[in-house]
Amino acid sequence: MSTLEFTESEEAFRLEARDWLAANNPGRLPSMDTAEGAAAHREWERTLASDRWSVVAWPEAYGGRDASLTEWVIFEEEYYLAGAPTRISQNGISLLAPIIFGHGTEAQKERYLRDMTDGSLVWAQAWSEPEAGSDLASLRATATRVEGGWRLNGQKTWSSRAPFADRGFGLFRSDPVAERHRGLTYFLFDLAADGVTVRPIDQIDGTPGFAEIFFDDVFVPDEDVLGGVGDGWKVAMSTAGNERGLSLRSPGRFMAAAARLVSLHADAPQPHANDRVVDAWIRAEAYRLYTWDTVTRVEAGGSVGAEGSVNKLFWSELDVDLHETALDLLGPDAELPSLWSDGYLFSLGGPIYAGTNQIQRNIVAERILGLPRLG
């Protein structure tokens, strides 16, 4: 095991979180990609928020505990080790909220942040378009200036959480003659607004975790522009950095899965899988240590930067490999619905969302290794 050291107050925080989760964790809930499951997950968000465990690192004024980044990662470790439910509010609290804190107005903070913490406001992430997936800068959805705001037109696809969400966030081209990475504006919008059509997309398991969103002259007031007009790319890259780096995949998720994999193998040892099980455990521990190194750097005033792409490559491939190993150990039983089969299906999206791994390798090559662009 690692030799990480924590202060007495940090260890006390860990024990408090562990005890609270032991007393309140509802365990596995119905899939949040169903109406029943979405409602159950919203209720769990309310439970978390009632004792200020929903967003521990946020200021107390917005429902948090003013916890440090270290304490946030500690909580995430305990959360996953406890087997607590997936967070239906993740798009809001992990991806959008950091951008509102960094780029939003005081009115936007007051209007949106508190309702994220208790499941009252679930957000859909609306980036990709039919002809602008990983190449986000080629998007075609438009925003046209009108009195008091903007009219949105176009289509977004693969919008996560959209089938059961309340609002969405994404980029629209507000200046059609500007360069690709300019003339983009970041908008917040109501999924129930006139002119918005949400069309669910069934996943491999038959549930609609994503949706297409169609915009037909949808009015969005100026107060729902996040960041400056035309500054959408800069704002969006802040979101992407959070998604690829610390926010999206806590090390606790992989530590818990690796521990379950070791237990699975111990219950019915299969010598041919020894190396794969050990490799999964080592990689989960390496990811944990890498995350703590990043936490130390950020707390000292650094940032995630392009290294977030390395991080995203690592955790997405680890997730798939770990679950494939578990399914191999299960043999014919792998066909039965279980935590492992659900996790495997979810893991297959990891190399795609948050920017495909092919795109991430280009970023690593160009921005970290300094290699020339091809073509």
Residue environment code for 355-374, b if the CB has 16+ CB neighbours within 10 A, otherwise e: bbbebbebbbeeeeeeeeee
Q: What is the pLDDT of residue 375?
A: 60
Percent of the chain clearing pLDDT 90 (strictly above): 61
Q: What is the pLDDT of residue 245?
A: 46
* pLDDT for 10 beyond 90: yes
Q: What is the pLDDT of residue 293?
A: 84
Percent of the chain clearing pLDDT 70 (strictly above): 93
* pLDDT for 2 beyond 80: no
Question: What is the C-alpha separation between 151 and 149, in angstroms, rounded?
Answer: 7
325 phi/psi in degrees, rounded to 5: -65, -45
Q: Quick check: pTM over 0.85?
A: no
Question: What is the C-alpha separation between 29 and 52, in angstroms, rounded?
Answer: 21
What number of CA atoms fall less than 13 Å from residue 128's CA on the CB side? 16
134 pLDDT band, cuts 50/70/90, is low
253 pLDDT band, cuts 50/70/90, is confident
Going from the C-alpha of 78 to that of each of 14, 15, 301, the distances in angstroms are: 7, 9, 26
Question: What is the C-alpha separation between 169 and 124, in angstroms, rounded?
Answer: 7
291 pLDDT band, cuts 50/70/90, is confident
Flag the least confident range among 7-11, 34-38, 199-203.
199-203
Average confidence score pLDDT of the chain: 89
187 phi/psi in degrees, rounded to 5: -120, 150
Of 314, 313, 321, 311, which Cα lies nearest the Cα of 343? 321
Stretch 204-210: mean pLDDT, rounded?
A: 83
E strands, 77-141, are 123-125
Question: What is the C-alpha separation between 78 and 107, in angstroms, rounded?
Answer: 34
Q: Show the 3-state SS of 142-205.
A: EEEEECCEEEEEEEECCCECHHHCCEEEEEEECCCCCCCCCCEEEEEEECCCCCEEEEEECCCC
Q: Which of residues 203 and 67 earns the better pLDDT score?
A: 67
Residues forming beta bridges with residue 170, ordered by sequence position: 187
* pLDDT for 83 beyond 50: yes
pLDDT in tens, 37-72: 999 999 999 999 999 999 999 999 999 999 998 999
138 pLDDT band, cuts 50/70/90, is confident
Of 130, 136, 131, 142, which Cα lies nearest the Cα of 180? 136
Residues forming beta bridges with residue 124, ordered by sequence position: 168
Q: What is the pLDDT of residue 133?
A: 60
* pLDDT for 17 beyond 70: yes
248 pLDDT band, cuts 50/70/90, is very low
* pLDDT for 258 beyond 50: yes
Question: What is the C-alpha separation between 332 and 256, in angstroms, rounded?
Answer: 24
Instruction: Please list the active-site residues.
Output: 243
Q: CA angle, corner 101, sides to 94 and 228, nearest 5?
A: 110
- Which range scores top for mean pLDDT: 136-145, 174-183, 250-259, 325-334? 325-334
pLDDT in tens, 87-125: 999 999 988 998 999 899 999 999 999 999 999 999 999
* pLDDT for 143 beyond 60: yes
- What does the DSSP 8-state code read for residue 213? E
Q: What is the pLDDT of residue 96?
A: 92
User: Is residue 45 within a helix (H) or strand (E), and if so which, with residue range?
Assistant: helix 35-50
Q: What is the pLDDT of residue 227?
A: 93
Stretch 129-154: mean pLDDT, rounded?
A: 87
What number of CA atoms fall less than 13 Å from residue 141's CA on the CB side? 30
Going from the C-alpha of 90 to that of each of 71, 94, 123, 161, 172, the distances in angstroms are: 18, 5, 8, 9, 22
Q: What is the pLDDT of residue 321?
A: 96
241 pLDDT band, cuts 50/70/90, is low
Return the residue matching tokens 């024990």.
15
Mutual angle of helices 251-267 and 339-347, in 10-degree steps: 130
